Amino acid sequence: MKKNIAIIMGGYSSEYQISLKSGNVVYNTLDKEKYNVYRIHIFKDKWVFVDAYDAEFSIDRNDFSVLVNETKITFDCVFNAIHGSPGEDGFMQSYFELIGMPQTSCNAYQAALTFNKRDCLSVLKPYGILTAESYYLNLGDVINEQEIIAKVGLPCFVKANKAGSSFGISKVHKKEALQAAIENSFKEDDEIIIESFLDGTEVSVGVITFKGETKVLPITEIVSENDFFDYEAKYLGKSQEITPARLSKAQEDKVNTLAKKVYEVLKMKGFSRSEFIFKDGEPHLLEVNTVPGLTNESILPQQAAEAGISMAELFESAIDEALK
């Protein structure tokens, strides 16, 4: 019997267009001889199955089923391709856990924790994971520019605490630009994180559960044409992503060990991608992504290809793990 696989894509955040691309890559890649594959768009105003002719059928949220031409379709597994909320912050994971539906990403707690940069870094620090100096603000807090700069220095990064794809992020070189950067981040989130600038090689490390084992993928070095790895650099070709990264053996071993440690300490499953910057030869963790991009240009599929894992194998393994 072929398994019915629902690929959820879209979402409620600024990342929905990237998510739709990722979801469609999964849809087009999965072997239709092995699976019945369904595209499910998750938006604030509708959850719908979108058929091959772009006709939409509402999802019954009681059991995540859909009625198509008088036939009720239920699913064996959900492939999560939603970047940002509600696919990467624990909401969809909680929902699927409640209705007993297997899904390919990490569990709800891990998703919520890693999506909150502040909380994730705080949890990992006691395990010897190095991070940038940071300062936190909630919407409505008094903004003491002098205090912020004394803590993190200049230049610094101002980021939305719970957002991905480099939305709501600015690099601030002068005190005069700090207020505008803070306002920009608050457009994305009601919590922001301000971090010291780490001057060094930036790398991205994919860690996945593949055929029952925790596997660290070949490392990608990020070389941005812009001032940092922003949205343009990430998605509009304004960066070089070099896989494998140009690191010494010692650097490679250090960051591989650290990325695996992060994955295992947090009790992750599914796909993950951790971002690090080397400062004084030591990798410092920036953040952990639990639903990384899955387009042909995305970093994780590039890393899998370098490791000899095809897109089809990558996606099928995620389904197999979820169904265990």
Tens digits of residue pLDDT in 250-279: 999 999 999 999 999 999 999 999 999 999
Per-residue H/E/C for the chain:
CCEEEEEEEECCCCCHHHHHHHHHHHHHHCCCCCEEEEEEEEECCEEEEECCCCCEEEEECCCCEEEECCEEECCCEEEECCCCCCCCCCHHHHHHHHHCCCECCCCHHHHHHHHCHHHHHHHHHHHCCEECCEEEEECCCCCCHHHHHHHHCCCEEEEECCCCCCCCCEEECCHHHHHHHHHHHHCCCCEEEEEECCCCCEEEEEEEEECCEEEECCCEEEEECCCCCCHHHHHCCCEEEECCCCCCHHHHHHHHHHHHHHHHHCCCCCEEEEEEEEECCEEEEEEEECCCCCCCCCHHHHHHHHCCCCHHHHHHHHHHHHHC
Which whole number is the average pLDDT over 287-315? Answer: 96
Tens digits of residue pLDDT in 96-125: 999 999 999 999 999 999 999 999 999 999
Model pLDDT, residue 204 = 97
The more confident residue out of 12 and 227 is 12
Query: pLDDT category, 297, cuts 50, 70, 90?
Result: confident
> Could you tell me which of 4, 1, 8 has the C-alpha nearest to residue 73?
4
Model pLDDT, residue 168 = 79
Model pLDDT, residue 224 = 76
Query: pLDDT category, 165, cuts 50, 70, 90?
Result: very low
Tens digits of residue pLDDT in 172-195: 999 999 999 999 999 989 999 999
Query: pLDDT category, 286, cuts 50, 70, 90?
Result: very high
- 238 has pLDDT over 80: no
Question: How far lies 282's CA from each of 130, 225, 247, 250, in Å?
Answer: 8, 24, 12, 10
Query: pLDDT category, 163, cuts 50, 70, 90?
Result: confident
Tens digits of residue pLDDT in 217-236: 999 999 977 665 555 555 55
> Could you tell me which of 159, 160, 162, 181 has the C-alpha nearest to residue 172?
181
- 26 has pLDDT over 60: yes
Which whole number is the average pLDDT over 71-93? Answer: 97
**Percent share of the chain, pLDDT over 90:** 90
